[in-house]
A and B are shown apart, each in its own frame.
Chain A
Amino acid sequence: MLDFGVVVSNFRFLVVQGLFGLGGFAGGTLRLAIPAIVLGFVLGIFVGLARLARSRWISLPATLYVEFFRGVPLVMVIFWIWFIIPQLLRLPIPEYGVALTAFVIFEAAYFGEIVRAGIQSVPRGQVEAATSVGLTGAQTMRYVVLPQAIRNMVPALVTQMIVLFKDTSLASIIGYVDLTKAAQIVNNREIKPFELYLFIAVVYFAFTYSMSRFARRFERRVTAA
Chain B
Amino acid sequence: MNYQFKWSVLWSGQSGGWLLQGVITTIEISALAWVLAVALGILSGALRTVPWKPVRALATFYVEFFRNVPLLVWMFFWYFGVPPLLPRAVQDWIFNHGAEFWAGMFALGVYHGARMSEVIRSGIQAIPRTQFEASVAMGLTTFQAYRLVIVPIALRLIVPPATSESLNLLKNSSVALTISVAELTFQTRQIETYTAKAIEAYTAGTVIYLVLCVAIAAIMARVERRFAIPGLIARGG
Contacts and interface: CB of A to CB of B under 8 A. Distances in A.
Interface stretch (B31-39, B131-139, B140-148, B203-211): B203-211
A71 interface: yes
Interface string A75-97: 11001100110011000000000
Given A76-B185, A88-B1, A197 B76 contact: yes
A187 B80 contact: yes
A75 B77 contact: no
A83 B214 contact: no
Contacts of B81: 193-198
Overall SS of chain A's interface: helix
Contacts of B172: 73
Overall SS of chain B's interface: helix
Contacts of A187: 80
B206 A72 contact: yes
Interface string B203-227: 0011001100110000000000000
A167 B74 CA distance: 12
B69 A205 contact: yes
Nearest to A89: B1
Given A76-B205, A204-B68, A205-B65, A180 B73 contact: yes
Residue in B74, B76, B174, B214 with the greatest tally of chain A CB atoms within 10 Å:
B76
A71 B218 CA distance: 13
Interface in B154-186: 167, 171-175, 177-178, 185
B18 to A, nearest CB: 16
A170 B175 contact: yes
B189 interface: yes
A129 interface: no
B3 interface: yes
B209 A71 contact: yes
A204 B209 contact: no
B49 to A, nearest CB: 17
Contact of B70 (A71, A169, A193, A194): A169
Nearest to B176: A75
B71 A166 contact: yes
27 contacts: A1-B85, A71-B171, A72-B171, A73-B209, A74-B174, A75-B174, A75-B175, A75-B185, A76-B174, A76-B205, A80-B206, A83-B192, A83-B199, A87-B1, A87-B198, A166-B70, A170-B70, A173-B72, A173-B177, A180-B76, A184-B76, A197-B77, A197-B81, A198-B77, A201-B69, A205-B64, A209-B64
Given A73-B175, A201-B65, 16 more contacts: A71-B209, A73-B209, A76-B174, A76-B188, A76-B205, A83-B198, A84-B199, A87-B3, A172-B72, A173-B72, A180-B70, A193-B80, A194-B85, A197-B80, A204-B68, A204-B69
Interface of B: 1, 3, 64-65, 68-74, 76-77, 80-82, 84-85, 167, 171-175, 177-178, 185, 188-189, 192, 198-199, 202, 205-206, 209-210, 213-214
